[in-house]
Amino acid sequence: MNGTIFCSECGATLITEAPRRETTNALSRTIDGIPTVVEDGPHTVVPAPPTIAKASGICLVVINSGRRITLESGEELLVGRKDNQRGIYPDVDLGLDGGYDAGVSRRHAIISPSRKGYMLEDLGSSNGTFINSTRLAPQTPTLIAHGDELKFGTLILRFEIA
Amino acid sequence: MAPGIQLRSTLSRSVLPDVTEEQLIYVLLEVSAQGVPTTMPKLPLNLCLVIDRSSSMRGERLQQVKEAANRIVDLLSEDDCLSLVTFNDRAEVVIASQRVRNKVDLKRMIGGVEAAGGTEMATGMALALQEIQRALVGRGVSRILLLTDGRTYGDEGRCVEIVRRAQSRGVGLTALGIGNEWNEDLLETMSARENSRTQYITSASEIAQIFTDEVKRMHSVFAQDMQLRAEMRPGARLRSLDRVRPFIATVPVTEEKDLVWATNLGDWPGSDPQAFLLEVVVPSLAVGDHPLLRLTLRYSLPGMNLLNQEGNVVLRIGVRQAASVGYDVDVTVKHWLERLVAYRLQAGAWQDVAAGRIEDASRRLQMAGTRLFEVGDVDLAHTVQDEATRLLRSGQTSAEGRKRIKYGTRGLMGGETQEREA
C-alpha cells in the first residue's frame, strides 16, 4: 500500500528517502493548577525538491560490521572470498567480514555496470545471492538499485551509488 | 516551560498524494507530563513481593533479592502497604499485608528467607492476590512484583488466570525473570495487560536497582484509568496500535462503535515517557486539507479527586497533486516503526520455529538484525544474527538468545534501555 515504509513480510525498506523532521511543538497550560491537555495546531508541510547527485562510484556497506567498501565504477567486480592457494582474489573480499561462516563462496557473484545501471549476477554459489531477500537464479544478471540489500550466503550488504 | 500534560502527534507524512487507492500513514503519539507529578500529592502504594525461593536461587541471587527488598522497605512509608510471599514447591506469606511502620521487624522477616526446593508459581501468585486484596482501599497504586528464575510445572494456565483476575481489579504485575531457565513466554503473557510489565534480568547485581526503580515508578503515578480513544474520519481505519515507549507492546484495542477504537492504558507513571504508534489507512481524498482522526486521552487525577479529565488532538493531512508530493518520511516516526518492525520480525521467527520452518525463521531473524543495525542497536543486532546462524546450522535456538531477542527488541532488558526524563 502506498505509504508503507517497511515490507511486512521481510522488513526490507520500501522507500529511499531524504529524512527531515516535521514535528510540531505543543504548548501546555494549566487552569487553576489542574493540568489540561493541549492540542497541536494543524501543520502542513510542502516537501523540498529532491537533490540530484552525480554517480561517481559505488559503495557496499557490510551491515554487521559497518565496513564501507568503496569501489570505482566502470568495471566488473568479483564478490567472494580470497583464496591464495587457488589464486582467487575477488575485488570485494568478504572473507574479512565473516564470509567463511556466512557461506560466501570464493567466486560468489559479479557486480557489473551496464547501460541500465548496475547488475548483480550469481555465479552458481553454494548458498545463493539475494536482492532484498529474493534469491537470484544463477547466471542471471539482475538490476540493483541504490539502497538495495544484497545478501551473499547469510552476509548482508547494502548497495549504494555514491 | 510551564508544567502540564503534553499530547504530541507526528505523522510519517503530513502531505499525501491524491491517488485513487487507499494509503497508509503512521502516527507517533507522544504523551508526557512534565512537572505534574511533583505538584500532585503522592498516592498510597500497595505492593506485594512474590519471590521464588527454589534451590536455584541459592547464593548471590537470593542475597541480592533480600538486599533489594530491604531497600524497598526503606523507600516506603506508613501510607504504604507491603506484603511478601515466597514460593518453592509450596508458598507462604512471610510478611502479611501491613502498613510499613516497623522497618526493622520487616527486614528481619526478609532476612529469614532461605532457598530450597522446586518451583510452583501459581500458589505464590494466589497468596499474593490474597494479600494485595486485603489492603485494597479506595485509591492507590497496587502492584505484584514477581521474581523467578525457573520454570513452573503444570500450573502455567493457573498463573495467567490469577493474574488476569488481579489486573481486572486494577492490580498490576511486574514480572522479572533472572537467568536463563525461566519461561519468557509465560511472563510475557502474564504481563500483557495494563499496569503490567516484564523484564529480563541478566545479572543478580541488577536486582536492587530494578526493585528500587519499580517503587519509584509506582510513586510517580499521578493519573489513573487512562484511556485512549481514536475516532477516524469516514473511510479511514485503524490498522494497528502499538505502544513503543517505555517499551514495545501490542495494545489490545476494542472497536467501541463504527470508526471508534478505544484502549485502556491503566496507571500513568510520570517517570516514564509514553508513546504509541498507530497505523492508519487513509481513503482516497480530493486535493485539499482534511481532518483524519481525533485522538482523545481520558484520565483521572485521584490525588485531586478529579475524574474523567480529557484532552484531545485532531490530526489533519494535506492532499496534493501526486506529482508534487515526495517520499520524505519523518525520521522519528521511521525510527520507532523500525524498532516495531524488528520486534514483529523476531516474533514471526519464533512462530516459524514452532512450525518447523527453520530457514524462514533464520531469514526473519536476519532481517530483524538488519533493522536493529539501522536503528543503532548494534549489540542486539549481533545477538540476533548469531542466533539466526545458530538456528540455520543446528536447527536449535538457545535459551539465552531467545530471551535476549524477545526482551531486547521490546526494550525490556535490565537498566540498559531505561530512559529518564531530565
> What are the cell numbers at B286?
480530493
Provide mean pLDDT across the span B275-286: 95
Q: Is B1 on the interface with A (CB under 8 A)?
A: yes
**Residues B268/B33, Cβ–Cβ less than 8 Å:** yes
φ, ψ of residue B413 in degrees (nearest 5): -110, 125
Provide mean pLDDT across the span B125-142: 90
Q: Is the pTM of this model over 0.80?
A: no
**Residues A77/A113, Cβ–Cβ less than 8 Å:** no
Can you give the pLDDT at residue B184?
94
Condensed to tens digits (0 to 9), the pLDDT of residues A96-130 reads: 888 888 889 999 999 999 888 899 999 999 999 99
DSSP string, B146-183: EEE-S---S-HHHHHHHHHHHHHTTEEEEEEEESS-S-
Name the closest residue on chain A to residue B385, using Cα atoms: A64
Mutation site for B-interface testing, chosen from A4, A6, A127 by largest number of B Cβ within 10 Å: A6
Mutation site for A-interface testing, chosen from B24, B282, B365, B370 by largest number of A Cβ within 10 Å: B370
Using the predicted structure, report yes or no on whether residue A15 has a pLDDT greater than 80: no
Provide mean pLDDT across the span B175-199: 95
> What are the cell numbers at A160?
549504494
Q: Is B281 on the interface with A (CB under 8 A)?
A: yes
Nearest to B7 among A6, A16, A37 (CB): A37
Residue B7 and residue A40: Cβ atoms within 8 Å?
A: yes
Sheet with B23-34, edge to edge strand ranges? A37-38, B4-11, B23-34, B274-282, B237-245, B249-250
CB atoms within 10 A of CB A20: 13
Q: Is B33 on the interface with A (CB under 8 A)?
A: yes
Name the closest residue on chain A to residue B33, using Cα atoms: A35
- Kindly report the average pLDDT of chain B as a whole number: 91
Q: Work out the minimum CA distance from B19 to partner chain A, whole angstroms.
A: 9
Nearest to A45 among B15, B36, B309 (CB): B15
3-state DSSP call for residue A54? coil
At CA B180, angle to CA B174 and CA B181, rounded to 5?
85
Nearest to B306 among A19, A34, A63 (CB): A34
Closest CA relative to residue B181, chosen from B406, B398, B417, B348: B398
C-alpha dist (Å) from residue B52 to A117, B47, B61, B125, B171: 62, 16, 10, 11, 20
Condensed to tens digits (0 to 9), the pLDDT of residues B350-395 reads: 999 999 999 999 999 999 999 998 887 888 999 999 999 999 999 9
Q: Which residue has the higher pLDDT, B1 or B213?
A: B213
Sequence-ordered strand ranges (E) for B284-377: 288-301, 306-320
CB atoms within 10 A of CB A137: 11
Can you give the pLDDT at residue B218?
94
Q: Is A15 on the interface with B (CB under 8 A)?
A: yes
Using the predicted structure, report yes or no on whether residue B401 has a pLDDT greater than 90: yes
Q: Work out the minimum CA distance from A23 to partner chain B, whole angstroms.
A: 5
Condensed to tens digits (0 to 9), the pLDDT of residues B204-256 reads: 999 999 999 999 999 999 899 999 999 999 999 999 999 999 999 999 899 99
Report the distance separating Cα B211 and Cα A20, nearest Å: 40
Condensed to tens digits (0 to 9), the pLDDT of residues A48-71 reads: 333 333 345 888 988 766 778 888
3-state DSSP call for residue B231? strand
Q: Is A18 on the interface with B (CB under 8 A)?
A: yes
- pLDDT band (50, 70, 90) for residue A26: very low
Can you give the pLDDT at residue A42?
37
> What are the cell numbers at B405?
531477542
Using the predicted structure, report yes or no on whether residue B414 has a pLDDT greater than 80: no
CB atoms within 10 A of CB B115: 20
Provide mean pLDDT across the span B110-121: 94
Q: Work out the minimum CA distance from B317 to partner chain A, whole angstroms.
A: 7
- pLDDT band (50, 70, 90) for residue A77: very high
Provide mean pLDDT across the span B114-138: 91
Of the candidate ranges A11-20, B3-12, B30-39, B396-405, the one whose mean pLDDT is the lowest = A11-20
Name the closest residue on chain A to residue B338, using Cα atoms: A6
Q: What is the CA radius of gyration of chain B?
A: 23
CB atoms within 10 A of CB B229: 17
Angle at which helix B358-374 crosses helix B331-354, to 10 degrees, equals 160
Q: Which residue has the higher pLDDT, B421 or B62?
A: B62
Using the predicted structure, report yes or no on whether residue A27 has a pLDDT greater than 80: no
Can you give the pLDDT at residue B112?
96
Q: Give the amino acid at B418.
A: Q
- Among B252-261, B324-333, B407-416, the range with the most confident prediction by mean pLDDT is B252-261
Of the candidate ranges A31-35, A125-129, B150-154, B226-230, the one whose mean pLDDT is the lowest = A31-35
From chain A, pick out residues whose CB is under 8 angstroms from the CB of B17. Answer: 2
Judge if the upstream peptide bond of residue B273 is cis by omega within 30 degrees of 0: no
Q: Work out the minimum CA distance from A101 to partner chain B, whole angstroms.
A: 9
Provide mean pLDDT across the span A70-97: 87
Can you give the pLDDT at residue B317?
93
Q: How high is the ipTM of this complex?
A: 0.73
From chain B, pick out residues whose CB is under 8 angstroms from the CB of A6. Answer: 337-338, 341, 371
Residue B289 and residue A40: Cβ atoms within 8 Å?
A: no
Q: Is A42 on the interface with B (CB under 8 A)?
A: yes
Residue B92, strand partner residues: B86
